[in-house]
Chains A and B, each alone.
Chain A
Amino acid sequence: MAAEQENTYRVKKLFDENYAALLLYSISIVKNKEDSEDIVQRAFLSLWRKMDSLKLHTSARAYLYKSVYHAGLDLLKHKKIRGKYENEWRRGVPIEGVPDGEENQWSEKVNSAIQGLPEQCRRIFMMSRYDRLRYKDIAAKLHISEKTVENQIVKAFKLLRERLAEHFPVILLVLLFCYDKG
Chain B
Amino acid sequence: MIRDNDIEKLITKFFSGEALPEEAMALEDWVNHSPANRLVFNQYSTFFTMPIDISDIEKAGDWKKISDVIQEGKSGWWTKLNSWRLAGIAASIVVIVAVGLLARHSIKKEDGTIIYETGTATKQFVFRDRSEVTLLPNSFLTIDKGYGIHNRKMKLNGSAVFSVIHDPKQELIIDVGGFYIKDIGTKFTVVTAPTSDTISVAVAWGEISVYDDFGLSQRARAGEKVFYSKLRKRLLVLPARADSAGELVNPGPSGGKTEKMDRVKDKPSAPTAAGERRYGYPSTYPLDRGYTEPGKWESRVRDSTEMVRVVSDFLKDGLIAPGQPVSFTLSDTAFVLNGRKQSDRVFQRYRKKYVPAGKAGIGWVWSRSPDPL
Give chain A's interface residues, CB within 8 Å of chain B: 8, 11-12, 15-16, 19-21, 23-25, 27-31, 33-35, 37-46, 48-50, 54, 56-58, 61-63, 65-72, 74-75, 77-79, 89, 92-93, 106, 110, 128-129, 132, 134-137, 139-140, 143-145, 147-148, 150, 153-154, 157-158, 160-161, 168, 171-172, 175-180
Contact = CB atoms under 8 A, between A and B. Distances in A.
Interface string B170-199: 000000011000000000000000010100
Contacts of A145: 315-316, 318, 321-322
Interface SS majority for chain B: helix
A71 B93 contact: yes
Contacts of B56: 177, 179
Contacts of B99: 70
Given A57-B102, A145-B316, A177-B56, A171 B93 contact: no
Contact of A41 (B16, B65, B197): B65
Interface stretch (B43-51, B160-168, B327-335, B345-353): B43-51
Given A129-B48, A172-B43, A179-B56, A21 B28 contact: yes
B101 A42 contact: no
B86 A75 contact: yes
Interface stretch (B7-15, B131-139, B142-150, B258-266): B7-15
Contacts of A135: 16, 18
Contact of B57 (A20, A42, A65, A134): A20
A175 B56 CA distance: 13
A176 to B, nearest CB: 5
A136 B197 contact: yes
A172 B24 CA distance: 22
B107 to A, nearest CB: 15
Interface of B: 8-9, 11-22, 24-25, 28, 39, 42-57, 59, 62-63, 65-67, 69-70, 77, 84-86, 88-90, 92-94, 96-97, 99-104, 110, 177-178, 195, 197, 213, 231, 315-316, 318, 321-324
Contacts of B104: 57
20 contacts: A8-B70, A19-B62, A24-B52, A33-B51, A34-B85, A42-B93, A46-B97, A65-B21, A65-B24, A65-B25, A70-B96, A75-B89, A78-B213, A145-B316, A145-B322, A157-B11, A172-B43, A176-B53, A179-B51, A179-B53
Contacts of A68: 21
A161 B66 contact: no
Nearest to B10: A154
A45 B28 CA distance: 22
Contacts of A78: 88, 178, 213
Contacts of A154: 8-9, 12
B312 to A, nearest CB: 11
